[in-house]
Amino acid sequence: MNKNTPFKDKDVLIKDIEAFLQKHSTLFRVQGTRISHFFEMNCYNYVVKYYQNHGFDVLPVNLDGKVFKYKISAAGDPKNFSHFLVSKTIGAQKYEFEIHHNLALECAHESEIFYTADISVIKKTSIERTQPSTYSMKRSFCRAKDLQTFFEVKHLAPFPELLFSFSGIPDSFLVISGRIKNPKHLAPSLLMSGRPNFHAEKIKKYLQKRHSINIIFNLFGTPSAVYSNKYSKRTIGTTF
């Protein structure tokens, strides 16, 4: 029996990988352009999984025939896109929330100023469509009182400016006081595909200690970090 390592045949490995890449080159070239959208879509799916793992019934609604339509930009009326309805009964009370993609949220402290979160969880049927006086057209949005939590998705490597700027957003858009303890939602979270360096890890620890937020890195490596209980995360209660 010869002692060997798989890499006595390094050239064979490289040749095999090269053949694999060549064989699937069209797939990589075509679908590769959508990786950023896929990442957003995957993160949305992870948020739905979080609710499913925490005892909620989850249901895709507003389908276009047999198609689930993701809203991948801030433009467009949410009623023309699909979303998830998640519901849970605690005691005699049934709680129902909607999970939306790219929905405008109104500031908690100043009317008619908005921010579009990549993913937001809101009270069922709380989207309003009006024409704010400062806008030339109608827009759909959710008021802060109905917003449960939100997520920012970045297909990027973490850098300090981004981490610090995210930490300020919840203060302007989320109502914290008066929330009931259950059901629980993930606290506002920044979901990133990139790997952190030592500095980014240190900033994350500091910001999570200082604010009620989650910063989750390297999601391609550990997608379950969003929805699995194995990874500890901050949560917030429900506005009611």
Instruction: Name the segment binding another protein (CB under 8 A); options: 54-62, 126-134, 180-188, 229-237.
Output: 54-62
> Is residue 59 a contact point for another protein (CB under 8 A)?
yes
- Binding range to another protein, per CB under 8 A, among 65-73, 112-120, 166-174, 229-237: 65-73
**Do the Cβ atoms of 143 and 114 come closer than 8 Å?**
no
Q: Using the rule CB under 8 A, which residue among 138, 195, 199, 202 binds another protein?
A: 195
Listed residue (132, 131, 95) closest to 113, CA to CA? 132
What does residue 152 show for φ and ψ, rounded to 5 degrees? Answer: -105, 135
Which DSSP helix (H) or strand (E) runs through 202? helix 198-210
Q: How far apart are CA 40 and CA 87, in angstroms?
A: 23
Binders in 126-185 for another protein, by CB under 8 A? 157
Block residue for tokens 């060997």:
4
Q: Judged by CB under 8 A, which of 53, 73, 130, 165 binds another protein?
A: 73
Q: Does 25 bind another protein (CB under 8 A)?
A: yes
Burial code of 210-234, b = ≥16 C-beta within 10 A, e = fewer?
ebebbbbbebeeebebbbeeeeebe
Binding site for another protein (CB under 8 A): 1-7, 10, 13-14, 16-18, 20-25, 27-29, 31-39, 41-42, 45, 48-49, 58-60, 63-64, 66-70, 72-73, 84, 157, 193, 195-196, 217-218, 220-223
